[in-house]
Amino acid sequence: MARSAAQRFAIARAIARRKNSVATEINPAAVATRKQGQAKQAKATSAAPQAIHVDFQSAAMNEGRTVGGQPYVSFAEGGQPVIIGFGRIADTMKRDRLAKGMAVRERGMLKVVAVYEGETLRDERGNEWRKAA
């Protein structure tokens, strides 16, 4: 039985793809080792909480609720990193359009973990914030 031109083309393409996938096949042990190295590097470079004081007057605000129902707010402006806060922190940031407290750099953005309410640092649930040991 003679094959049509479309069938011959499809067979040739399948053979070429198979050859390419065999040529680029990676050793699974090497992949696992590389992933472990990346995880160690990320853990070693994770930033400690740092003091911040950021004004959001001209930043674009996005607010919503997480899957668990907790409110969040994020601010973005130009080439600056996104700044995000949850719970009571989100309410404070939205009301004041200001973040004055402690933040952690996480995945290219700043996550606010505590804000000043008067002289006291409060976390997203309203409790006094303390740096985890």
Query: Tell me: the pLDDT tens digits for 109-127?
Result: 888 888 888 888 888 887 8
Q: Are strands 71-76 and 83-86 parallel, antiparallel or unpaired?
A: antiparallel
Please state whether the predicted TM-score (pTM) of the whole model is above 0.75.
Answer: no
Mean pLDDT score of the chain: 81
pLDDT tier at 107, thresholds 50, 70, 90: confident
Q: Which two tokens stand for residue 118?
A: 């008067």
- 43-88 tens-digit pLDDT: 655 578 888 888 888 888 888 998 888 899 998 888 777 888 898 8
Tell me what the mean pLDDT of segment 11-26 comes to.
76
Distance, in Å, from the CA atom of 102 to the CA atom of 121, rounded to the nearest integer, reads 8
Q: Which two tokens stand for residue 44?
A: 């070693």
Contact partners, residue 3, CB within 8 Å, separation at least 6? 11
Which residue from 78, 76, 99, 104 is spatially nearest to 88, judged by alpha carbons? Answer: 99
Contact partners, residue 65, CB within 8 Å, separation at least 6? 71, 72
pLDDT for the residue 133: 39
Which residue from 119, 89, 91 is spatially nearest to 104, judged by alpha carbons? Answer: 89
